[in-house]
Chains A and B, each alone.
Chain A
Amino acid sequence: MRIWLAVVSAIVAAATPVEAQELARVQRTAVVRIPEFMRLEARGISDEQRADGVNVRKVLLSVSANRAWRLQVQPTCNSECKVPDYRVLGGQGKAAHQQQVVVEVFWRDGDKPPAVHELTYSLVAI
């Protein structure tokens, strides 16, 4: 009987997982400061003429930012240049990676064509 008990206890002991004996615990800190980033990239320009005779220049931009942002468009024409009509599609957003923004610039034949440099694009935090 004793032998059987010994065998049983040995089996139980073998089946019980033995936890590692913890000897020391040391805590350390990793720190990082994440600054704000806003990045604007030009992706391309395409021109087309609508049926009503209005020319449309599409400026494709891409925004990567780790915070909320808004695209600011600043006309830079001087008095000899007519500030073109324009509109911004997707001109603001939250933190995003390569979010597409389209600026459409409109003019009619006979108007001075709006060169890209006549509009200055910048990102502002909101």
Chain B
Amino acid sequence: MKLVKRFLLMLLLLSPAPLLAQASCQTNGMGQCSTTMGSLQVRVTFGLTFDLALSSTVTNLPAPDAAAFNTGYTLTNGPVATIRSNGPWALSISASSATWAAVNTVPEPARTDKPASDLSWSTDPGGVFTDLSTSPMQVASGLATAGTMVPLFYRTVYQWALDTPGNYSLQIVFTIAAP
């Protein structure tokens, strides 16, 4: 028993020694540091790193035909978002403006008040679609990932009495945030 106590006492006395030896030199990031004795301590801080890639710059929505006007909408594939992150992430979607930009193609003026909500989105073509607005809405979220793919589907609303001929475009904003 006495022998064990002595051993523990020796251990306590010896344990700070390596700490003293390595205190002589430290570097953080790209800083240079050298030491003639002891150990070299290198500190690297990993921030939250991410990568958001979208499969297409422009989504060409199919031009509606009379049947689409009668049905009231068209369904099409949107971009696929690929997220890489070393920490938690949340992908959100929003419209950059409340209405679509409209350019006339015939003497009849194009509709200038087509709301952003005429485009709705979903991650499941058979699922629930959510109207787009200027307020970001969460599409998906996850933890650290080497590549999570989030496919998006768009549904565009058309109404006979409102959607006059023209070229229409809507800027869609995708945002990655730490939840």
Contacts and interface: CB of A to CB of B under 8 A. Distances in A.
Given A20-B179, A64-B69, A30 B169 contact: yes
A32 B156 contact: yes
Q: Which 9 residue pairs spanning A and B have beta carbons closest together?
A: A97-B160, A32-B61, A20-B177, A36-B165, A67-B108, A21-B178, A31-B169, A24-B176, A30-B59
Contacts of A35: 63-64, 165
Given A67-B106, A95-B108, 19 more contacts: A20-B177, A21-B48, A21-B177, A21-B178, A22-B176, A23-B178, A25-B174, A28-B57, A29-B171, A30-B78, A32-B60, A32-B64, A33-B166, A34-B167, A35-B165, A36-B164, A64-B69, A64-B160, A66-B163
B169 A29 contact: yes
B161 interface: yes
A23 B54 CA distance: 15
B165 A29 contact: no
A34 B164 contact: yes
Interface of B: 48, 50, 52, 54, 56-66, 69-70, 78-79, 89-90, 96, 105-106, 108, 110, 119, 154, 156, 158-179
Interface of A: 20-37, 39, 64-68, 94-98, 125
8 contacts: A27-B171, A28-B172, A29-B172, A30-B119, A30-B156, A32-B167, A67-B164, A97-B161
Contacts, number: 138
Contact of B165 (A27, A34, A64, A96): A34
Contact of B50 (A23, A30, A98): A23
Contact of B66 (A20, A26, A39): A39
Nearest to B51: A24
Contacts of B64: 32, 34-35
B169 A125 contact: no
Contacts of A23: 48, 50, 89, 176-178
Contacts of B56: 28
Contacts of A27: 96, 171-174
Nearest to B160: A97
A26 B61 contact: no
B176 A36 contact: no
Contacts of A29: 57-59, 169-172
Nearest to A93: B161
Given A32-B64, A125-B108, A95 B161 contact: yes
